[in-house]
Every structure is written in C-alpha cells, then in structure tokens.
Chains A and B, each alone.
Chain A
Amino acid sequence: MNLTDFAFLCFFVISLIVYYLVPRKFQWGVLLVGSIAFYMAGGHPILVLYPIVSVCIVYVCTHLMTKSGHDTSKDSVGASHNRTILIIGIVLLLLPLLTYKYLGFLWKMILPEAYAASAADASSPAWFLIVPLGLSYYTFTLISYLVDVYNGIAAPEKNLLKFMSFGMYAPALVSGPIMQYRNVSESFYAEHPFDPDMIARGSQRMLWGFFKKLVIAERLAVIVATVYDDPVTFSGRFVWLAILCFTLQLYADFSGLMDIVLGISQCLGITLPENFDTPFFSKTIAELWRRWHMTLGVWFKEYVFYPLMRTGIYSRIRKSLTARMSGNKTVARRSSESTEAEQSTMTDKEAQKKAAKRAKRISTYIAMLVLWITIGLWHGADITYVIGCGLLQWIYIVLEETLETPFKKLWERLKVDPKNKALEALRVIRTFVLFAFSMLFFRASSMREALQLIGSGFISPSSEAIRSVSAELGVAGGTGAGSVFDDLVTGLSEHGLHILNDASILGITYADIIIVIVSLIILLIVDILKTKCDVREAIAARPVVLRFIIWFALLFYVILLGCYGPGYNAADFIYQGF
C-alpha cells in the first residue's frame, strides 16, 4: 500500500474516525493497530515481525538500563552494564539493516549472474531482496531512543504496546522523518481532542504533497528515464536537462511524501519534525544539507558524528596531527636559524596553537569523511551512493570551508559586498548545480552509467538519432533538431492545439511539459513564500470564499493533472527504498 493509493486514503479516513471516537487515552492503541494493519497490507505480512522484534529488543534494553539506574559516569559499574546493553541493543538493531542492505550487494559482487536471475524472478525473489518496509527509518528511530535513554535525556516508556505504537508509527515508517522520542513523545502520547482546524490543516498539507508527487515528480520521472535509458541518443543538453529534472523530481517526490506524512500526523494531532526547509535556496552545500532530509542529518550528527569526535581514536588522530604539524614547524624554524630565544618561545606557542587549530580542522574533515561515507552507504550499498550522497558532498563542504577565507579576501580586494544580492543568487545557483551534479550518481544504476552520462553531456546530440527516435515515438511536429520548443511551434502551426496531446521527444506530451513548467513555477512561488511566512496559516487568515477558491483550485488541479489511476503506474516514492 502506497501513501498515494486510494486504498490508503480510505484506510486513513477510517482510522481517523476511529482515532477520534475511542477514549483519548487509548488513541495510541488505534495508531498501533493501524500501523500493524498498514504494515501487513504491504505485501509480506510476516515482515511485520521485524519492527515488532526490534521494538521488543529496544524495550528490553531500556528496561534493563533503567533497572541499573541512569548513572553513565565512567566509573560506575552500572554505566559499564548500561554501555554493554546499549552496544548489544544497537548491534541487534543494526543486524537486519546491515544484512538486508549489504548482503544483496555482496551477493551481487560475488555471484552476479545468480543475483540477476533471482532479482528478475518476481515470483520467488531471494529473501533479502524483500526488504521490510521502513527498515532503516524505524531502526534509526529506535537507536536514537535507545541512546537517548542511555544518556538519560529520554525517559523510557514503560508500556511495551504504547512504545510499539511509537516505534512502528506507520506514516513515518515509509520514509521517515526519523523521529527522536524525546522530541516527539509528548505530542505523540498526548490526548488529542477532535479539532476540525487541525484536520483541515493536515489535509491541506497532504494535498500539497500529492501535488508535488503526482503532478510534478511523476512527469519529471518520465523525462529523466527517457534520457537515462538512452544517453547515446539523448546526449548534450538532454543530459543536463535530465540531471536538472532528476534533482527537481527527487525534491518534489521526497518533500511531497514528507508533506503527506506530516499532514497525516497533523490530522492525528501529532507534530513530527520537519524534513525539508526550502533546501534549494541554500547558499552552500553545508546549508543545503541542513535543510534537506533534516532528520537524517540530525541523526547522523548526534549519533555518529559527535560520538565519533568523542572517541579515543579521534583524539589520538588529532594529537598525532598536532604533534606532526608543530614538529614540522619547529624543524622548519630551526633551519631558519632564528637567534632570539624569547621570540622563539612566543612563535613556538603561536605555531603550536596554529598547528592545533589546523590539526583540529583536518581531523574534523576526517571525521566528516567517515560521516559522509556512512551517509552514502545508508542510501545504498553501491559506489554511486557513496560518491553521490557521500564523497562529493564531503568534497564540496571541505572546499567551501577552505575557500571561504580566500574568497573573502578576494571580495575585499575587488571591493565587492559579499552579501550583494546578485552574488547571493549566484551562490544559490552554484549550490543547486553542484548538488544536482552529485545527484547524477544517485540516479545512475552504476558508476559506468554515471560516467557514460557525464561523457554524453559533452557530445552534441546527433540530429539523425533524434529524428529516428522522434519517428519511433511518433513525435508530432518533430523537426529533428531535438528542440522541444521548435517541435512544439512547428506542431502548433501544422496541427493546431491537438499537438498538445502528442508525445514530445522527452517522452511526455507537450501538454505535460507545459503542466510541469507551470507546476514548478507554483512550487517555486510557494517555496519563496514559505521563507517569509507559514503559507497555510496565511491562507487560513483570508476570508472563507478566497480560502475555498484557493484550496478547490489546488484540489482540482491535482485531481485533473495528477498522474494516477488505471493507465498510470505511479512509481514508489524514491526514498521509500531506503
């Protein structure tokens, strides 16, 4: 069951009615039953045991931790006991995640033919190809809870079933957001009175999510697939267009899904953490990642990066780097034959300070490298993910930080205000372009495909090949020049408005192209407004007639122009696979 399925919407409406009909203190029970039902409707009911077992593991671990108290000071026996429980708990939680995510990868590496045969056989695929829904999302949510309880910053839930309703919360199972119990539990377990305004707001947010997914992402997906499937024909500008389209598709798809999930939760009175904050208005890659898949970033920062920085290995690396750098400087200085001892002592201290600072920065970069590779691997056991979502991001961020000072000096020398609007706009565009380039690897099925695509990007498309594909697709108005605009103009002059329903060279109709462009403009405008105000609240403050007009316009826009129903095969959400 997909969150955009009609069956899910019916299921949600029924659940919502029951949720507000039962006594408020049992509302969590409705969530639990609903979540289990949702999970079991996913196709492989037995897989529901995975989240159930994981929740039970965490429950037992936190229960054992509570028994021995919350003292996590180093000397305490209880702390050592708790640490052991924590490690066991994390290992047990990670075990299925690692097995499912990486066993297939290993098999693919060792026995590629057997893997391909099994993957192709939809009727009886290998067991690890049927990944439990939301595996990494609930695992991360549960790990965060376990660690927070260990650190004493989250109070453990005593009621197993109640805790299960949190750990298995269906909307967030699909692709997050990754929840932190300490931030969500209050809203999650509070008694929620029936609130029509809340339900209206939640529904409005869901509708906005449907708009992004069904109107924008589904259409862009066709353009992207057309080019990615045949980069030889669709070379040059088509490649760059596809890369741009995929980045927008990914945003519309993932943020659309989050809007649906957060909207559902809002209807239930539950406030979940935001996962997107208009990321494409970021001026740096680091900022973009603070505004893109935010809960994943927070999770990795809190449960991987900071703990990594606190480890003995990290301190040793830092110390060794400091020693090596200050040692080098001293040797260098000695060789410069400095004579004044006092001056020498001062410069030694300064040099040591500088070296320590530099060592800290370098060791932080090393920790960041580990972090980004982990993030890349989280997306999938494939080098394309490691590069696209890991290494490239790390390189971008390191370059941004190291080039910050030289650029500052450059702007000063050129007497340019670094906060100049044009410059800021350029930074936004640069950030988007860099991010889009990295997403090329994310979308590619292999490194070979990614490199082939980049190569194709620098070759002009052959008119003959374009003409042949145009004929194959039955492109009306096809000029053979490979220009959608030229084809459209020619088609309009030759066939009139009927051309709009005909296929274009990009695999979708001309009408679809116009719809995508108009919808992206709407999305852009709303995102700009979002940086200034809460758009839904602003609409809610308007007179009822205007409000109705706005929401009816959006509702019918989605109903009429969304890609759904028979004849359409709405793709799964991209981040559902993680």
Chain B
Amino acid sequence: MNENKPHNSIRRILPAVVFIAIFIVLLIPLSYILRRGGDTKSRFMGFYAEPKDSLDIVMIGSSPTYSCCVMPELYGEYGIKAYPLASNVQRPIAGQFLVKEAEKTQSPALYMFEMRMYVGLEVGLGGNMAYTREVTDNMKYSANRIDAINAMVTQHITTEDTDKYTYYFDIFKYHSNWGNLIDPVQLRSWRFSSPDPLKGYKITDKVGPAEAAPVPDDPVPMDLDPYEEQALQDLLATLKETGAQALFYVSPYVLKDEDAEKYAHIRDVVEAAGYDWLDMNQYYDEIGLDFSRDFSDYGVHTNAVGAQKCTVFLGEYLRDHYDLPDHRTTDDSEQASGTVTGDDPSWDAAYALWRSEYEAAIPVIDRRIETGDFFVFE
C-alpha cells in the first residue's frame, strides 16, 4: 500500500537521482582532465581563462595563427590583446563555431582569420578526424560544441573515427589517459580553464631554411574546394550576426601559384562582404623576412625570429587600420627596458616570458644555421 504513496516513491528515487547528479558533476571535470594534453589544449584552456570581454582580437585559424603572431609581443609593444583560438590543420568549417564560442565570453573589436587552410582540399582536411578533434575536443561542453560536432563529424570523406557519440562524450576517446590523473599540469584542467603562459603563442627555435617563391602580382581567382567555399560562406554569415569587424589574412610562407589564385578568390569574396584582406606574402620586404633563417620547417611556419618580425608588421598594420585600445599603463622608459605593466598582470608576465624565451632562442637559431642543424620531419 505504502509503495503507491508519492512521498515514498520520491524517497526511493532520490538516491538514484543524487547518484546520477554526482556522476555528471564528477564526469565533466574528469573528462576535461583526461583530454590529451598539448599546446592546443593549453591554448584553448587559456582562452577560457581570459577575463570576460578583455580581448581586442580573437584570431582563428590553423597552426600559422599561433606560430606567426606573437600575442605577448603584440600586447607588450602595441598594447593589443589578441588571443588565438587556433589548432593544428584547423578545418575551415570550424571557423563559424569558434566565432560563436568566442562570443560567449568575449566581444572582440576584431576577428582575424588565418586563411591558409581554405585553399586546401577537403579530402585532406576532412579525411583525418584528428584535425576535427583538435577543435571539438578542446571546446567546453556546450550546445555550440554539439553543433560543431554535428557539422564537422561526417562521413563524406572517411568513415574512420566518425562515431559522433565519441565526440559528444570525448571520454570514450580519452578514458585511457588515466596517467593525467596524477599529472599536476593536467589536473589543473578540471574546469578546462587555465591561463596559458604565452597567451596561445607557440615559440620554436627550430630552423628549416627555404627560398621564397615569386609571388604573383595579379593572380586569376580560382574557385575553392566546394566544402571550403561553403565554410567561408557560413563564416561570413556568422560574422554578420556578430557585427564585429574582421580581417582575413594569410601569414607568409612559400606560396604556390594555385594558392595565390585561390587567395585572390577569397579576397574578392571577403571584400565584397565588407571585410578586410591582408596577404602578408605581398610584404616580405616590409616584414624583413629572411627565408633562410626565419622559418622552422622549410617555409611553412615561422620560428621565433620570423614570428617576431611578422608581429611587428601586424602590430603596425593593426594600429594603422583599426581603433584598438592600448592596455598598457607603462611609460616609455619602462617599456624600453622590456618591462610592461597593464590592466592584467598575466599579460605583463606573458610579455616578460616571451622576451626571455625569444632572447634565448636567437643564439640557438644562429647556432643551428651555423652547424646546419635543421628541422627533421617526424
């Protein structure tokens, strides 16, 4: 008789409800901790750790985004706070979802999109799901993440690793990383929010010399791969909703003619949509790039020296073209000594850290060039 009484039923269900609730509460941080460690995880966690509405620029794109632009330098020398939501071989389709992700905590005056992956082919980009996981498995659990997974995890190129549930619940993928549970660095990721010491920038002292390819003056626009074209259109539509300014740019590298033609097409599209375009390949001299010294892997990514030069160029460009605030409170004499103070000590520390790492990298780079100790692909 008592079984039918509502309060009795609630009393019996309650432990189960509490159990499930505790389980979820424990599972979320656990799965964050178990996610594969590395610079992308650190970079994304760093983004989530930035105070609300504190960033001037959010940069989105693949590896050149965080290897070509030195965010601490941009802050220390130009007072601009930029942060890259970037990952290795980031698929263009991720762009729109990363904008939405950024909008949750930031209202940047400017979005910058590194466009190198847009000239790629979907067969290469969508064929390796590791590139997708670099993005989805480094986002906090949210509805936007689910949308990103739904859009990115498809079987149009490959069927390997395309079970969506393993993306929704990435613990299916990473549960065996239980070594993370005794790693203090990874334990800090329980909220998936932890400051990144270099604000997303990845410094390298490796050297892979290259020769600059001639850059076509006026290439004939060439269509993109249809998937990347669609990704660009979706990104533009998302940007329209945010109302933010956007700069679509290409970082310097050994340019191919076909890529230059595709960039010409992208330039036409984004300019028609009312956004800015900057191809840094047109400014090797202005940047002062030395392809035999400034690249870490034979003309693909800049090393510490190349990145410093590119950042100076970008900093000048941003100051000239956009009205961005200066977050520094340091006077000029202090700045000359390499110390900066501003409204957020973590950025000051990032600048100081970068300077010391950069200064340590210069002799290493010189020595490598001298001894021919060049980068080896793994």
Contacts and interface: CB of A to CB of B under 8 A. Distances in A.
Contacts of B317: none
A196 B178 contact: no
Given A7-B165, A562-B175, A565-B175, A548 B22 contact: yes
A548 B21 CA distance: 12
B175 A559 contact: yes
A566 B173 contact: yes
19 contacts: A6-B163, A6-B165, A6-B166, A6-B169, A196-B9, A196-B12, A547-B15, A552-B22, A555-B23, A559-B27, A559-B30, A560-B176, A560-B181, A564-B175, A565-B173, A566-B163, A566-B166, A566-B172, A566-B173
A501 B179 contact: yes
Contacts of B171: 559
Contact of B172 (A200, A551, A564): A564
A560 B163 contact: no
B175 A197 contact: no
A499 to B, nearest CB: 12
B16 A200 contact: yes
Interface in A543-578: 544, 547-548, 551-552, 555-556, 559-562, 564-567
A200 B172 CA distance: 23
B19 interface: yes
Interface string A141-159: 0000000000000000000
Main secondary structure of the interface of B (DSSP, over half): helix
Contacts of B169: 6
Interface in B161-215: 161, 163, 165-166, 169, 171-173, 175-176, 178-179, 181
Interface in B1-48: 3, 9, 12-13, 15-16, 19, 22-23, 26-27, 30, 34
Interface string A170-210: 00000000000000000000000100110110000000000
Given A6-B169, A562-B175, A565-B172, 4 more contacts: A197-B12, A559-B30, A559-B171, A565-B175
Contacts of A562: 175
A561 B169 CA distance: 16
B30 A556 contact: yes
Interface string A7-35: 10010000000000000000000000000
Contacts of A6: 163, 165-166, 169, 172
Given A559-B171, A566-B173, A552 B26 contact: yes
B163 A196 contact: no
B101 to A, nearest CB: 24
Nearest to A547: B15
A193 B172 CA distance: 34
A200 B14 CA distance: 12
A559 B9 CA distance: 30
A137 B176 CA distance: 35
A342 B364 CA distance: 116
B55 to A, nearest CB: 34
Given A556-B30, A559-B171, A560-B178, A196 B13 contact: yes
The 5 A-B residue pairs with the shortest CB-CB distance in the complex, in nearest-first order: A565-B172, A196-B12, A196-B13, A560-B178, A6-B165
A482 B9 CA distance: 59
Nearest to A567: B173
A518 B121 CA distance: 49
B110 to A, nearest CB: 37
Given A556-B30, A565-B166, A565-B172, A196 B16 contact: yes
B163 A561 contact: no
Contacts of A7: 165
A6 B171 CA distance: 12
Contacts of B22: 548, 552
Contact of B19 (A197, A551, A561, A564): A551
Contacts of B27: 559
**Which residue of B3, B23, B175, B178 has the most chain A CB atoms within 10 A of its CB atom?**
B175
Contacts of A560: 34, 175-176, 178, 181
Contacts of B181: 560
Nearest to A6: B165
Nearest to A7: B165
A489 B166 CA distance: 36
B132 to A, nearest CB: 12
A381 to B, nearest CB: 34
Contacts of A551: 19
**Which residue of B23, B27, B34 has the most chain A CB atoms within 10 A of its CB atom?**
B23
A544 B15 contact: yes
A193 B23 CA distance: 26
B172 A199 contact: no
Contacts of B176: 560-561, 567
A7 B26 CA distance: 22
A552 B178 contact: no
Nearest to A555: B23
Contacts of A196: 9, 12-13, 15-16
